[in-house]
Amino acid sequence: ELGRRRRELRSRMELLIMETQAEVCRALAALDPGASFSVDTWERKEGGGGISCVLQDGEVFEKAGVNVSVVSGLLSEEAARQMRSRGKSLKAKDGKLPFCAMGVSSVIHPKNPHVPTMHFNYRYFEIEEADGTKQWWFGGGTDLTPTYLNEEDAVHFHKTLKEACDKHDLKLYPKYKKWCDDYFYIKHRGERRGIGGIFFDDVDSPSKEEVFQFVKSCAKAVVPCYIPIVKKHRHDSFTPEEKLWQQLRRGRYVEFNLVYDRGTKFGLLTPGSRIESILMSLPLTARWEYMHTPPESSKEAEILEVLRNPKDWVH
Q: What is the pLDDT at residue 270?
A: 76
Compute the mean pLDDT over every residue in the chain, rounded to the nearest whole number: 92
- How many Cβ atoms from other residues are within 10 Å of residue 171's Cβ? 10
Within a domain: 263: yes
Q: Roughly what angle, to the nearest 10 degrees, separates helices 208-220 and 222-233?
A: 10
What gap in Å lies between CA 114 and CA 234, rounded to an integer?
Answer: 7
- Quickly state the pLDDT bin for 15 (edges 50, 70, 90): very high
Q: What is the pLDDT at residue 253?
A: 97
- Quickly state the pLDDT bin for 194 (edges 50, 70, 90): very high
Provide the residue type at 52 as one letter: S
- Quickly state the pLDDT bin for 92 (edges 50, 70, 90): low
Instruction: Give yes or no for residue 271 having a pLDDT over 90.
Output: no
Q: What is the pLDDT of residues 99-116, one digit of tens each?
A: 889 999 999 999 999 999
Contacts of 242 (CB under 8 A, 6+ apart): 113, 114, 147, 148
What gap in Å lies between CA 100 and CA 309, rounded to an integer?
Answer: 38
Instruction: Give yes or no for residue 4 having a pLDDT over 80.
Output: no
Decide which of 148 and 131 is more confident: 148
Average pLDDT over residues 249-271: 90
Q: What is the pLDDT at residue 129?
A: 74
Enclosing domain of residue 10: 2-308
Q: What is the pLDDT at residue 93?
A: 65
Decide which of 109 and 130 is more confident: 109
* β partners of residue 65: 54, 107
The pTM score is 0.93
| Residue 148 near residue 241, CB atoms below 8 Å | no
What gap in Å lies between CA 26 and CA 229, rounded to an integer?
Answer: 16
Q: What is the pLDDT at residue 29?
A: 96
Which residues carry out catalysis? 119
Instruction: Give yes or no for residue 117 having a pLDDT over 90.
Output: yes
Instruction: Give yes or no for residue 175 having a pLDDT over 80.
Output: yes
Within a domain: 181: yes
Within a domain: 194: yes
Within a domain: 21: yes
By CB atoms closer than 10 A (0-12, 13-18, 19+), residue 212 is middle
Percent of the chain with pLDDT over 70: 94
Q: What is the pLDDT at residue 75?
A: 77
Within a domain: 61: yes
What gap in Å lies between CA 58 and CA 48, rounded to an integer?
Answer: 31
| CATH assignment of the domain containing 212 | 3.40.1500.10
Within a domain: 315: no
Q: Roughly what angle, to the nearest 10 degrees, separates helices 208-220 and 9-31?
A: 10
Instruction: Give yes or no for residue 77 having a pLDDT over 80.
Output: no
What gap in Å lies between CA 38 and CA 149, rounded to an integer?
Answer: 32
Q: Which range is most confident: 45-54, 78-87, 145-154?
A: 145-154
Within a domain: 203: yes
Within a domain: 314: no
Q: How many folded domains does the chain comprise?
A: 1
Average pLDDT over residues 115-140: 90
Instruction: Give yes or no for residue 87 having a pLDDT over 70.
Output: no
